[in-house]
Structure formats: C-alpha cells, structure tokens
Structure 1
C-alpha cells in the first residue's frame, strides 16, 4: 500500500490545538463507505487491434472500496475541520493480453497490479460563508474536473477557496500542484494534451444565479507554462407547466498559450437543449471546435464539453459534432428506480495531422436501476453500452457493468 499524507503535519497541529469536543466538530461529522464493482469490456474492432498496442481487447473486473471521513467545524469565528479519504482497488479478473482498461496501475511487463490503495487528508477552515481547503481532494470545476469513470476517482493535491458572502454569487479559486490518475496510486506532475510538464494549475471563477432556475458561470484557468483557458457557461430552464420544461446549457471557451510555450489556438462553442415532458426528455446538442488546436485539458481529468460522452470527446482541432439524446424514467410503468438513456453523437471536419478531414461517431445506451427501500436502499446497478467508429482512430464496442452501494456509517 502506498500512502500519501501531504497535509498531515498541518492537520495534526490544527486539530490538537483545537478543542475537538467543541459542538459541531464531532456532532456534524460523517463517515461513508462506497462500494463499486466494475466489469469493463472493450473490443477493438479494426484490423490489427488497438492502434496503440495491437491488443484486440481490454477486459478487466475490479472492486473498489472508498472510505470518506468528514468532520464538522470547531466553534468560534474560524471553524476548523479535517477530511480523510482511504481507497483501495482490487483486481478480480485480468490477464496481460487483456490489461489496459484504465482501471489499474500496470506492472513493467504490462500486466495489471493485483491491488492499489490511496490514503490522504485535507484540512478545512470556515469563516462566515467562506471555505478554504488544503490537501488531497477531488473537485469538478468547468476548467478542471476530477475524472471518475473507472474504479477510483482522480485526485488532486490542491488548495481551494469558495466564498458565498454575497447573495446569489459564489466565488471560486484553486491552486493544484499534482494529480493522481484513475489508474494510479502515485502523484504526478501536471501535463496536457499539448505536451509539456507543469508544477501548477490555478483557476478563478464565479457562479452567479440570475434567477432560481438560471445561472451564469465564468472561469479562468492556467496550466503554468503551457496554456490558459477562459470559459463562460449559461445554465437555464424555462417552465411551461409543472411537468413540461426546456433546459439550456450553453458554453463558450477560448484557449491560448501561456508564457513561452508553442502557439495554442482553440475556441469552442457548445449547446445542449432539452425538452422534458413528464418522464420523457429529448435533447439536441451541437459542438464546434475552431482554431488550429484541440480543446485543452489536464491529462487525467475530464474536459467540460456537452459532447464529452462515454468514450469520445469530439474535441479535436476543427471538429464539428451533433448529439441527439433520449432519457426516460420508467417509474410511470410501475418500475420506480429504473431509467434508460440512449444517445448518438456524430463528428466531422476533424483537421488531421496527415491532411484531410476525419469523421467519427459514438452511440451509447444505458440502463440504471436504483433500489428504493430496505437495507439495500440506494444501491444501484448500471449497464453502459457504447459503439464507436472512426476514420482515424480506434473502432470500439464496449460494455460496462457497474454495481454501487453507498453505506453511511454515521
């Protein structure tokens, strides 16, 4: 087991210098254990297999256990708290010729490890409606998002600030110095899809509620020495009746180089509009990359895009993509907790390095069932299916079966 305690000295000093019996620190504490079982099966359909390593399949099965301890805050104007996370991922089935699912770290011979673990902590300070956290954590902001699509989520070593002192306005700031990927238990320097290595990512943002059902978000992020990223996002809803409404998600972003890194030019527009009537929702999305480069993001994190789906992002240089999606809640048919989603995304106008235009498409289907009561309440089973075809990348058929069980200890 590899343990990581970047903030333990600070945590212990603050904790023992404070009366832990003070109302709130213990009384408001919470402990949760999340169990996630994931079967992952990816089949590379093109001749020659995976373009990276020639494998015909990536098929593995694993079990994750994640313990989260969150304290309350001590009394006084400045409240002090501590959060601790402990995670482990167990390899239930794999082989050298089927490794590479992104679920586990790999050995030198390319096979997956039998298990991997993580341990971390963060200290948090609260004054009025302002919260500062420092240590190991996961968070999702428009210009930097922890990934969570395998057994264990990606993690950051970071310091964050969130302030809601003014009604309707939330200010955000963060400094991230290292990242731990989905299939890793080691801290790494920050890298990007453009190449380069960096020791710092900083972000600043503001979320402003225009009304109870509409919000504007503006963010700036900078991967030191590599790129800078500006993003504006509008989220809104227009109600017609109690069970009919339109939802809007509009995004615009611009990326450029930082300092003396090579020239970077990307502008991205995305829109997702959905119409919901009772238990049915039909959505249409459009996304367009402009400029000579692809959409920016830190390696091991998720890009904030309306057409970022199960496998593809549709974020290549020049790419244009459309999405059609349908969601239904099957409670109306007498099965509460059961839902279904299907979508199709098609991209073209990809500027290939070899010249010419590339094309790709992805189709997803997803069934989810959440147990509604009893001792297994909130446990869920999810089946995800995806098909990808590309004129320049891998052709993929994929299935994921995910069983999750969140358990509250106190």
Structure 2
C-alpha cells in the first residue's frame, strides 16, 4: 500500500516542501532534519445498544502519517520548516456503519475509499524560543489536538513557545482553522462544550496564552487564558505534585480548575470545573482516584471538532462535563516490565457521574468502564511494532435520543509501526 499513487504523492510533496529552501540549505538545517513514516491500522466498533436509529458504527482503515521536521539554519535567528502528510485508506465500511470518525462520513452515509491532506509550517528559533506558523498540532491545557483515531487533528495558525528561563515554559498562540481527524480540509472553529446556548456556533479565531513553571523539583504549576471569539473566555489552572515515598514508590497529585464565561452576547457560557486525580505508584502498579465537579449554569467549555478537553474524567467515550455533574474515577495501571515482560501494559478504570439534568430527566446518571491492553515488541523482525486493544462500556439512566454515546459498547484495535526515514 505504500506504493499507491496517493501515498507516493503525499510523501514526495512533503519531503520536497521540506527541502525546497536552497538558500537555507546549511549543515545544521540538513543534519538535524528528522523524518518518519507511521503506519497505523485502526479497527473501530461501537454498538449503540438501545439507540432507535443506527444500531452500530464499524469501520477499518489503514493510515499513513509522514512527519518531517527540519533543523534550523545557522545564525542568531534560525529558520526551518515542518511538514505533515496524512493519508487514510478504507479497508472496510458501509452505509449504515459509518460515523466512527476513523473515516470521513456521517452516520448513515458511506465513507470514501481514501482521504489525504498535506500541512506545512514555517518556523524560526532564537535561543530557546520557537515560533511556528502554518499547520500545527497543539497540546496544552487550553486546547489539545486529538490523536485518538486513524489520523491526528490539526490547526492552522501560529504558536510561540519559549523555554529561555530554566523551569519556565511560556506558550501563546492564535488559531483560525481546524482540520478534523477524519477530514481533508480546514474548517472554521466551532463550539464543542456542554449545555450552553450559542447563537452562532462558528468562531473566527481561538487565542491562548499561558505556561508552566517548575516551582520545585516535585511541584509544577500551570495557567492558561483562552478565548474562542464571541463564544467563551476561560482561565485554566493546573498544579501537579509528585511525592517520592521510597524505593519505586510515589504519590502524584493532579489538581485542575477552570473558570469559563461567555464572550459577548452570542452565548450564555457559565461554568466552573474542578478536577483532582491522586495516583499512588509502587513498582509497576499504579492506583488512582479522581473527582470532577461541574458548577454554574452550563457545562464545560471547549473548542468543538477533534479536540480533547483538559479534564481528569475525560475518558474513552464520555467527558462527564454536563452542567452540575459530579463524577468519580477509580483507575488501575500495571507495567509488566516490573515482572520481566517489557513492552506489555494494562489499564482499567471506572467512572460514574450523577446530579445533572438531561431533558426531562432531573437526576441523570451515567457510568463508563474502560480497559486498555498494549504491547510493543522489543526485538526481532517485529521490534517496535505496537498493538493496542481498547475496550469501553458506557451506560446511562436516560434515553439516548440524539446523544448516541451515553449507552454503548466499544472496541478499538490499533496496530502501529514507525519507519525512520532520516
């Protein structure tokens, strides 16, 4: 499949764009260039249980993710370019089974045979400060590009990250377009939060500024301000502390708080989101307990499309972020390397939430149980090949209606392998 015209075209265009700067072709620019092709095979099955419409979504596809990151030219200001080539090829789908976001296509529609996109970003570096403009994968507590399907989501815009001061990371950006994880074109940004009335769900831009500071060796604090134009403003705080308890033991505390309000008269956003996760680790075992509480007139505010909200109880299917919802999480992880099986990992968690309203249901409840099993081959011909199975069960005490995610059984099987090219 690597020899298909689409795959070959994306690869050649991406590599060509990266090297098409003859005046900059200095030693560091070429020598520091990194390139890799990730092959990602993704099977997705979601059974909607009692949903009166489509009974399930099931698709299988092969993805090709070509990442090229150049070095920088010499001088006080170094210049470079990054490229991202994406190709998804349908292996199995059908009308009545689409809607997994593995492939393009809404519920009830068929998926195309393939889809692809090419993104470029120019970059400049001064000391430890880097400015990028173009196609971006952003990941911070204000906004995070999702990479939980066949291909990653991207944004168009600019971002500057500075690490010139030891222990301090400053981060600011402006985004104006969004390419969903199952799309080929950049679209307007839109509202994706819970419970608010938004007159116009599309926004011209999303801006953010903030950073993280390592207060001590074990304590890191973070703060971000963000604004989805004419829809919401948000202040987000994060505090992470890791307490060593002895040989191969630690206690990690992750505290999160966000205050979201409306921006202008286009919406009525009003939310306070509190989250806490405490994790005790010993040898290869980790035991976690989490709590999340929404208060205010609406649920959590975040950008729609393919983004991951910064919430402790944002899990495989649900985010437990409805207005006034309270939720608890119990989680267990085990790394089999501790007993001599490196590369094998296991995770399971249970989240339950209640105390919120859905339509006429004034005491809505829901729960979700997740399980992940992953293995990365350590040697031989399959070295670095990764296999992961993700299973989830979600239930609620109210009719699903248009929200087909509240009661579902889900399985995902992902096989991935990255080929170094440079």
Q: TM-score, normalised by structure 2?
A: 0.90
Q: What is the rounded CA distance, in whole Å, between the counterparts of 1:128 and 1:251 in structure 2?
A: 31
* Aligned match for 1:30, one of 19, 27, 34: 34
Worse-superposed segment, 63-72 or 161-170: 161-170
Map 1:280-299; keep pairs closer than 5 Å.
280-299=285-304
| Deviation, structure 1 residue 408 | 1.1
Q: What is the rounded CA distance, in whole Å, between the counterparts of 2:333 and 2:147 in structure 1?
A: 22
Question: Which residue does 2:21 correspond to in 1?
Answer: 15
Please list the CA deviations of residues 317-338 of structure 1 after superposition, one character each: whole Å capped at 9, or x if unmatched. Answer: 1110000000111223432211
Q: 1:323 to 1:12 in 2, by over 3 A?
A: closer
Indicate yes or no: 2:172 matched with 1:173.
yes
Q: 1:103 to 1:47 in 2, by over 3 A?
A: closer
Q: Determine if contact 1:327/1:341 at 8 Å carries over to the other structure.
A: yes
Question: Which residue does 2:219 correspond to in 1?
Answer: 214
Map 1:369-388; keep pairs closer than 5 Å.
369-388=375-394
Question: Which residue does 1:320 correspond to in 2?
Answer: 326
| Deviation, structure 1 residue 15 | 3.1
Structure 1 residues not aligned, in runs of 5+: 49-53
Q: Determine if contact 2:35/2:66 at 8 Å carries over to the other structure.
A: yes
Q: What is the rounded CA distance, in whole Å, between the counterparts of 2:46 and 2:361 in structure 1?
A: 29
| Deviation, structure 1 residue 339 | 1.0
Question: Which residue does 2:45 correspond to in 1?
Answer: 41
Q: 1:68 to 1:212 in 2, by over 3 A?
A: same
Question: Which residue does 2:365 correspond to in 1?
Answer: 359
Q: Determine if contact 1:122/1:135 at 8 Å carries over to the other structure.
A: yes
Q: What is the rounded CA distance, in whole Å, between the counterparts of 1:107 and 1:359 in structure 2?
A: 28
| Deviation, structure 1 residue 107 | 7.7
Q: Determine if contact 2:18/2:83 at 8 Å carries over to the other structure.
A: no
Worse-superposed segment, 285-294 or 39-48: 39-48
How many equivalent pairs are there? 398
Please list the CA deviations of residues 22-52 of structure 1 after superposition, one character each: whole Å capped at 9, or x if unmatched. Answer: 221000001101111111011111152xxxx
Map 1:249-260; keep pairs closer than 5 Å.
249-260=254-265
Question: Which residue does 1:231 correspond to in 2?
Answer: 236
| Deviation, structure 1 residue 375 | 4.1
Indicate yes or no: 2:131 matched with 1:132.
yes
Question: Which residue does 1:409 correspond to in 2?
Answer: 421
* Aligned match for 2:276, one of 271, 283, 293: 271
Question: Which residue does 1:155 correspond to in 2?
Answer: 154
| Deviation, structure 1 residue 261 | 1.9
Structure 2 residues not aligned, in runs of 5+: 1-5, 401-405
Q: Determine if contact 2:18/2:68 at 8 Å carries over to the other structure.
A: no
Q: 1:129 to 1:43 in 2, by over 3 A?
A: same
Q: What is the rounded CA distance, in whole Å, between the counterparts of 1:237 and 1:250 in structure 2?
A: 12
Q: What is the rounded CA distance, in whole Å, between the counterparts of 1:315 and 1:107 in structure 2?
A: 24
For the aligned residue pairs, the C-alpha RMSD in angstroms reads 2.1
Q: Determine if contact 2:50/2:407 at 8 Å carries over to the other structure.
A: yes
Q: Determine if contact 2:99/2:108 at 8 Å carries over to the other structure.
A: no
- SS of 1:96's partner is coil
Question: Which residue does 1:87 correspond to in 2?
Answer: 86
Question: Which residue does 1:307 correspond to in 2?
Answer: 313
Q: TM-score, normalised by structure 1?
A: 0.93
Indicate yes or no: 2:256 matched with 1:244.
no
* Aligned match for 1:339, one of 307, 332, 345: 345
Q: What is the rounded CA distance, in whole Å, between the counterparts of 2:79 and 2:90 in structure 1?
A: 38
Indicate yes or no: 2:148 matched with 1:142.
no
Please list the CA deviations of residues 157-195 of structure 1 after superposition, one character each: whole Å capped at 9, or x if unmatched. Answer: 010001112221111100001001111111110110354
Q: Determine if contact 2:98/2:106 at 8 Å carries over to the other structure.
A: no
Q: 1:355 to 1:336 in 2, by over 3 A?
A: closer
Q: What is the rounded CA distance, in whole Å, between the counterparts of 1:395 and 1:170 in structure 2?
A: 40
Q: Determine if contact 1:286/1:323 at 8 Å carries over to the other structure.
A: yes
